[in-house]
Structure formats: C-alpha cells, structure tokens
Amino acid sequence: MKDDPDRKPSLAEATLAGDRRALARVLTHIENDTDLGRRALDTLFPHTGNAHIIGITGPPGGGKSTLVNEFIRTWRKQGRQVAVIAVDPSSPLTGGATLGDRIRMQEWFADDGVFVRSMASRRFGGGLAQNTLAVAHAFDAAGFDPIVIETVGTGQDEVSIAALAMTTLLIQVPGTGDGVQSLKAGSLEIGDVLVVTKGDRPEAAELARDLRNIRMIGLAAGSEVGGWEVPVVRTSAITGDGIDNLTTAIASHRQWLQTSGDGAQRVRAMIAAEISVRVQQGLLGRLSEQNHDHLEALIDRVVSRNLTAARAADELLSGM
Amino acid sequence: MKDDPDRKPSLAEATLAGDRRALARVLTHIENDTDLGRRALDTLFPHTGNAHIIGITGPPGGGKSTLVNEFIRTWRKQGRQVAVIAVDPSSPLTGGATLGDRIRMQEWFADDGVFVRSMASRRFGGGLAQNTLAVAHAFDAAGFDPIVIETVGTGQDEVSIAALAMTTLLIQVPGTGDGVQSLKAGSLEIGDVLVVTKGDRPEAAELARDLRNIRMIGLAAGSEVGGWEVPVVRTSAITGDGIDNLTTAIASHRQWLQTSGDGAQRVRAMIAAEISVRVQQGLLGRLSEQNHDHLEALIDRVVSRNLTAARAADELLSGM
C-alpha cells in the first residue's frame, strides 16, 4: 500500500472504522507532522474527547512498565481498548524505547484491543508534547479508552507531560535516595495519585508515610485545589498488592474530574498547551528558515563576546 | 543597600572586582531577567569565555551532590574558584533545592572561592536554559573556573542541559534498574564522561562493563565524533575511589576540546542554543500579550472539537 494523497480520507476513515493497520500508518504521519497526518487529524479530531488520558511518570527502573502491564490486564477484563504511548528520550545509540516496547508488545501482540506505541523525543526543540497529544487524539478517535502516556524522567519533562494528561500518576521508588534527595526531586504536586512501587521493600511503608505527611502539609498550605485528596497507593509487582486500589483511585479521579468541573478546566489547559507548543514550533521554524545569515552574524558577535545572547535575541525579535 | 538603577554599573563592576555580595545580587537580577540584570550582563559579558562549564546530570539520589563536593575539594586544592549551579525542578511545596543547597553551603560557607547557587526551574515555559547560561556567564566574568551545572533528571531536561555545557558527566547508578530499563533511559550519547557512582555496590562492576560495551558499539556505529573516547569511571563516596580519575578525565576532555577544535564548535552551539531559547521566550511572551481574545476564541473551537490545535496554531501564526 502506498500513502497516495488521494487515499488519505479513507486512511482516517479506516482508522475510525477500527482498522489497526490504518491507525498505525496514521500515527506515523501524525508523529512526523506530515500534511497527510494533519489532514487525517482534521478527520479524526471531531471524534475525540471521550478517552481518559492518564499520565504515568517516574524514574527509569521505577516499575512503570510493570504497572502499565497490570493496568492493561485489568482494563481488558473490563472490555476496554487500551492505548499506551511510551515516551522515551531519543537514543540513536540504543534505538530509544524500541527494545522495551518490543518486549511489552509480545504479551499483547495478538490482542487488537491493546496498542502500544513508542515515541522517541527529539534531541532538541520540544516537538514531543505536540506529537504526543496528536497521537493521543488519534487513539481517542479510534475508540481507545484509557490512553496511557508513560514517561521516563523527573524534572521539566515530567511537568510538561502532566500538562497533557487528565490524571497523572507519579511514581516514587523506595530505597533509591535519602529524604533530602527525595524532596529535591520535587514535582510531587503534579501527581493526582502518588504511587509507591516495589511496595514489598522494607523502606516502602516509610516512604508511603512520608508522602502522606508531605501531602498533609500541602493540604494545610492550600496547595490542593478543588477537594481532590491525593491518594498514596503502595503496589508490589511481586505480591500483586495495590493494583486494584490503584485502578480504583484512577477511576475515582476520573469521576471527580467529571463531577467537580475540574475536568473541563484541565481539557482546556491541555488544549491551550497544545496550541502554544505548536505556535512555538512554528515560530522556531520560521526563525531557522528566514534569518539564517543574520543569525550567523549575530552568533559571531556573541562568540567574540561583543554582544550578549539577550541582545542578539532582541535584535532578531525586532525583525520578526 | 537598594538596587537603585544609577548604581547598576557599579554592581557589575563590583562583581568583576571580586565582591561576592554584588555577585549574589547580580545573579538574582539575571535569574529574574530584569533590566538591571540585562545591563549587568552587558558589562560582564566581555569578560567571559575563560571558564570550563561542566554539566553533571543523573537521577535523584544518584550521588551528584557528593561528587560535586569532592570536585570542589580537589579544585580548591588547585587554587581554583569553583561555582556550582544546582538546577532543580521547581517545587512550591518543598521550596525546590533550598534544603539540599543549604546543607551543602554549610561546608563551604566560609570559603569565598566557592559559590553554590540553586535555580528552581519554572513550572512551564523553559526559561531555565537561558537563565542557567546567563548565571554561568556572571560566574565566568567573576573569575570562577570551573563552573558546574548540576541537574536532576533524565530525559529532555538532561539533553538540553548538555547543550549548555562543554563537558557533560552522565551519572549511572548501579542496582536501580534492569538492563532494558537502563537502555530505555537512553541519553548515554550526551555524556562526554560516563560515571558509575556507588562503585562499591556489587552491581557496579557489571554496570561499568555494560557501559563500556555499549560505548564500543557506539564507537563501531560511528556515533562518537572527533576522536574523543568516552571514558567510564567508577567512583565510590565510601572509599573515595575514582575521584582522581574523574577529575583527570574532566581535565583531559577540556584539553581535547582545546586541541581538537571541538571546543569552539561547542561554544558556538551553546550560544546558538541560548539565542534560540531567548527568541522562543520572547515570541511566546508576544503571543500571550497580543492575541489573548483571539487565542481564547480559538481554544473554544478546539475544545468543541471543531478545529485541531494544529490549525489553531496556523491561524495564530498567520497573524504574527
């Protein structure tokens, strides 16, 4: 099959009709932000807005993949179609997420109701957020619910992924750092549900208790808005404990989003973020296309320490 | 003392003359991107370009702070003035890096040749990179060398910080993840020096060997340019092993940057990145100021699924 422009509408329509191969091809076009991908999205987008988009974030080796596998098992029993978007730092050397992806795909390979997609983050430029949401839209239109966005990392990345999800699970691993380090990692307030994985480890109970205490302090300081009490759930891949509590907590948060009206606010914020990122990318593209010689001359002046980067940026901005 | 606009030049000049209190105040202005900060940078910038800017990145609890402390000890013995910029995800709840910062500051509090500065990354918007480099410029002008930029996290954040440093140390911790997870974390290729901390752990030798093997594969695949052989150094905070090897590796990389010409290329890339981030910030500011009503109307149309975010962004871009 060829991606002939004349076939585009049928590709998106095939996706809506449940064709998984069409979906896979649409995803590739969306990820690469091709014209075909954009037009497919035009067709798919009116059919979105139904899925629960769940973000899961935590350190590498923190047990995210195991958790996601357990979720898939639970949701499949409920007859739901599950999509997973695994976001990984790009790695030309190791091929990014492909290995972990392939391993996980094996288990669900024969199941049409599960779709795992890996996305490598580009080295620079932040195109990740816009593509992640666009891919989620395609899954949403194709009838997947929930859609899990799984990310490695703590820090800026984690925070921006939280802006893309309706419910964010933040994973904390016992026994990997002391108290100060754990506090330094910060970002606790982006989690709608805090998860202590490897709950069978001796340090797990203490970590869960510490997190509950920090949450209480946050509560007292008014950092939790709208009445959602962030639960702290301890899970163990070995004993299987906590998975039911966790899927219940996720369902409760979804329910709360709907009844409190906070859900509509989040969707609006997600859309604002998506537009903002796309404008940013567009402007950067414009900059790199149009002002190349001027930019190089300015860089020369900064390299020779005759001009600060701030002034160089001002000069470029004044001409845009 | 008040930051009277008429006093600005003397604040920057006092910084150049070695006044640490002036430097601290300049840093605050630079971090907040005030007019005074920008003008101080105009004065300071011609005096920059001497320092070795070193990035250290790795997971929370990975032993970065301990390592930096050992570096400070070594470099102070060599009579060098050392600046550390600790970049942390912002945490309104925990106050970000302040706790860890304060603990480290104690040891060097009485030493004017050591300056540790914590920077909290803003929740959104990526102002971090531009401010980090601007703060590094101030340290550079004030005679600090080396300047260490220490960041928590793996992922996008890590990659962008690597773009700000001449020499990047990437920390890998033994016993925190299985092989696949470790590969998934990726980003190995951003490291000029790979560091295995907690080298006294039983898994450390194996991890170091794995990293050397991956490096060899990368070498074969041509991923290492210009002839720098990325060393893998194992350190232990308990035994003190490896610190000398590591500071030697850092010095070798600096030497290699100078002799190979790769250093000039990196400086140019760093400056291009700094300008690009500043233009991006400026354009985003312009967007948020000028198109508010239009933006809200567009968001409404996306919320009601009548328009994709990509089309909304195009419409905004066409009017800019």
pLDDT tens, B252-269? 999 999 998 888 888 888
pLDDT value for B291: 64
Query: B155 touching A, CB under 8 A?
Result: yes
pLDDT digits (tens, 9 = 90+) for A70-101: 999 999 999 999 999 987 654 433 334 444 55
1-40 of A, contacting B, C-beta below 8 A: 33, 38
Interatomic CA distance for residues A93 and A250, integer angstroms: 36
pTM for this structure? 0.65
Nearest to A94 among B157, B159, B186 (CB): B186
Q: Block means of pLDDT (10 residues each) for chain A, length 320 residues? A: 56 94 93 89 93 87 85 95 80 43 65 86 53 91 95 54 82 64 50 89 85 68 65 89 95 93 86 82 72 84 91 85
Contact A309 B133 (CB under 8 A): yes
pLDDT value for B190: 73
pLDDT value for A12: 94
Taking the CA of residue A70 and the nearest CA in chain B, the distance in Å comes to 17
Domain A48-260 has CATH 3.40.50.300: yes
pLDDT value for A52: 96
Contact A60 B61 (CB under 8 A): no
Domain boundaries, chain A: 48-260, 276-318
Query: What average pLDDT is seen over chain A?
Result: 79
Contact B124 A163 (CB under 8 A): yes
User: Which residue in B122, B172, B187 has the most chain A C-beta atoms within 10 A of its own C-beta, making it the best mutation to test that interface?
Assistant: B187
Residue B250 has pLDDT above 70, yes or no: yes
User: Which residue in A33, A65, A93 has the most chain B C-beta atoms within 10 A of its own C-beta, making it the best mutation to test that interface?
Assistant: A93
CB pairs under 8 A between A and B: 309
pLDDT digits (tens, 9 = 90+) for A40-62: 999 999 999 999 999 998 777 77
pLDDT value for A167: 93
Query: A121 touching B, CB under 8 A?
Result: yes
A214 vs B contacts (CB less than 8 Å): 93-94
pLDDT value for A57: 83
Q: From the CA atom positions of chain B, what is the Rg in Å?
A: 22
Which residue in B has a C-alpha nearest to residue A34's C-alpha?
B310
pLDDT digits (tens, 9 = 90+) for B5-57: 555 457 999 999 999 999 999 999 998 888 999 999 999 999 999 999 999 98
Interatomic CA distance for residues A223 and B27, integer angstroms: 29
